[in-house]
């Protein structure tokens, strides 16, 4: 799987011809709004087997071939190398896949054993419809090992839409988190229509995670949490209500997402997290939290001060870093999830909690700001697919911020109003996946389902083996 950035004069047919792949395969992977009109700067996922390798100091063609288990000749055939004996650090080389030609009498089990892979991986990689019938001469792509990761996704879609989304992503989700059960001042929880989603999760071997929160689109929830934290009786009632819902509906874990908590309630928040673990662990449930994106323990502000990273990492089973919303809808236009800022949060988190407890938060939506930005203006939120459609409609160039690792563009609407749009594409998604792999984090958590982004899911599947948890 590779990512290609459109240049002047490119056509979909020309790109497909260059990589010797069917045009429809590129269209299916990217779901282009207008395949006949590509935009300069637009990124495309090219679903071909193979990967790119960046040459390091001292590497040779032979050493690279040995590293990937392919022949030097196969690399030469796939690249236009002016001098195979002289490779430069930083040079990108395409590594073709390992191909096995089936011999008479061979079985999938024998082939899987030969290459140290699994029968299921071979079936999946080659889309085998009748794996029991192998014909001599058939060429099989041998899957390369992929790191294992866990994937969570929040959703606040309507139930029917959420079910459809869960079914379509069933192999790519470890957890599904319907958002959310809202706390009340007396310890009750506002009801949530989640029965159909939980049913779909069970059918698709996805772990349902109950989410509780104190805020909404209209309420910060600050005073609400102070009232709850101040009353042992309300806390006891709240935990009993949480446990009852989990038992009744089949949730297997709890995600605590409390935001805008007063700084003076920091210790009370930590105590509540410990109470949740002490209550739920003996019953076989796990507990996770979602925390604001912090760079240090002393970071000031209502969003940050009550979130004690060290305590959450020590007490909870895992922690979701909400590494998004730098480009929030009420602020000026900028990348929503800039990789440079996300990296700072991860590096701080790793100083106080282990990597195997950290989920990287990943938002999958776009924002459209009117420019110049004026205080009080609210940006429009929609999907990355809609962002590409708007850019295509207005025939504008896609730009890419190399520091934030995020695409953006500007356009002028029919009324003469200028806009700036920041969104996610294949390049920004790959940058986030690389961050997860670089620091060996436990997983990825998406906020939020309901915004189509086909490139992301294709690349997620290409980068990782998504872990499924058994009962």
Residues labelled catalytic: 259
The widest CA-to-CA distance across the chain, in whole angstroms, is: 76
Helix, strand or coil for residue 132?
A: coil
Give φ, ψ of 289 to 5 degrees: -130, 165
3-state DSSP assignment of residue 181: strand
Q: Which two tokens stand for residue 229?
A: 């934290």
Handedness of CA 20, 21, 22, 27 (dihedral sign): negative
Q: Tell the residue number behind the tokens 């000031």, with chain if given.
A: 300
Q: φ, ψ for residue 75 (rounded to 5)? A: -70, -45
Placement of tokens 């009117």 in the chain: 370
CA torsion angle 82 46 15 394 (round to 10): -130
Rg (CA), the chain: 24
Pick the closest to residue 159 from 120, 200, 130 (CA basis).
200
Q: How far apart are CA 198 and CA 292, in angstroms?
A: 27
3-state class (DSSP) for residue 272: helix
Q: Is 138 helix (H, G, I), strand (E, B) or coil?
A: coil
What is the C-alpha end-to-end distance of the chain, expressed in Å? Answer: 33
Please state, in angstroms and rounded to a whole number, the distance separating the CA atoms of residues 117 and 142: 8
* Strand partners of residue 449: 155
According to DSSP, the residues that pair with 51 across neighbouring strands are 95
CB 435 within 8 A of CB 358: no
Task: Select from 448, 468, 469 the least CA-distant residue to 179.
Answer: 448
Q: Are 354 and 447 in contact (CB under 8 A)?
A: no
């Amino acid at each position: 799987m590779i990512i290609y950035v459109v240049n002047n004069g490119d056509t979909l047919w020309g790109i497909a011809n260059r990589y010797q792949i069917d045009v429809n395969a590129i269209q299916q992977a990217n779901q282009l709004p207008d395949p006949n009109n590509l935009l300069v700067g637009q990124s495309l996922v090219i679903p071909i087997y193979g990967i790119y390798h960046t040459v390091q100091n001292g590497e040779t063609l032979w050493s690279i071939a040995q590293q990937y288990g392919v022949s030097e000749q196969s690399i030469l055939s796939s690249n236009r190398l002016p001098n195979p004996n002289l490779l430069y650090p930083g040079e990108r080389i395409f590594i073709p896949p390992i191909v096995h030609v089936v011999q008479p009498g061979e079985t999938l089990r024998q082939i899987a054993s030969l290459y140290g892979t699994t029968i299921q991986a071979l079936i999946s990689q080659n889309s085998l419809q009748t794996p029991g019938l192998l014909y001599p001469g058939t060429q099989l792509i041998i899957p390369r090992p992929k790191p294992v990761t866990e994937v969570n996704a929040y959703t606040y879609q309507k139930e029917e839409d959420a079910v459809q989304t869960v079914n379509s992503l069933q192999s790519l989700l470890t957890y599904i988190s319907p958002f959310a059960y809202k706390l009340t001042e007396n310890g009750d929880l506002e009801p949530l229509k989640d029965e159909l989603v939980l049913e779909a999760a069970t059918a698709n071997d996805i772990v349902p995670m109950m989410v509780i929160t104190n805020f909404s689109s209209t309420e910060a929830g600050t005073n609400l949490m102070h009232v709850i934290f101040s009353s042992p009786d309300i806390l006891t009632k709240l935990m009993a209500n949480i446990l009852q819902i989990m038992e009744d509906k089949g949730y297997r874990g709890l995600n605590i997402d409390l935001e805008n908590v007063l700084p003076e309630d920091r210790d009370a928040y930590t105590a509540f997290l410990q109470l949740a673990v002490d209550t739920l662990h003996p019953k076989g449930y796990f507990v996770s939290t979602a925390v604001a994106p912090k760079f240090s323990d002393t970071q000031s502000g209502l969003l940050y001060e009550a979130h004690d990273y060290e305590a959450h990492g020590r007490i909870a089973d895992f922690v979701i870093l909400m590494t998004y919303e730098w480009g929030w809808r009420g602020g000026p236009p900028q990348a929503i999830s800039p990789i440079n800022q996300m990296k700072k949060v991860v590096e701080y988190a790793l100083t106080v909690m282990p990597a195997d407890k950290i989920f990287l938060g990943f938002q999958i939506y776009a924002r459209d700001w009117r420019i110049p930005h004026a205080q009080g203006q609210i940006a429009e939120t929609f999907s990355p697919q809609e962002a590409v459609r708007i850019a295509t409609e207005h025939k504008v160039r896609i730009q890419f911020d190399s520091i934030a690792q995020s695409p953006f563009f500007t356009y002028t609407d029919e009324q003469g109003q200028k806009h700036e749009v920041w969104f996610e594409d294949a390049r920004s998604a790959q940058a986030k996946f690389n961050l997860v792999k670089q620091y060996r984090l436990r997983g990825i958590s998406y906020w939020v389902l309901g915004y189509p982004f086909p490139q992301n899911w294709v690349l997620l599947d290409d980068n990782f083996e998504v872990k499924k948890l058994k009962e």
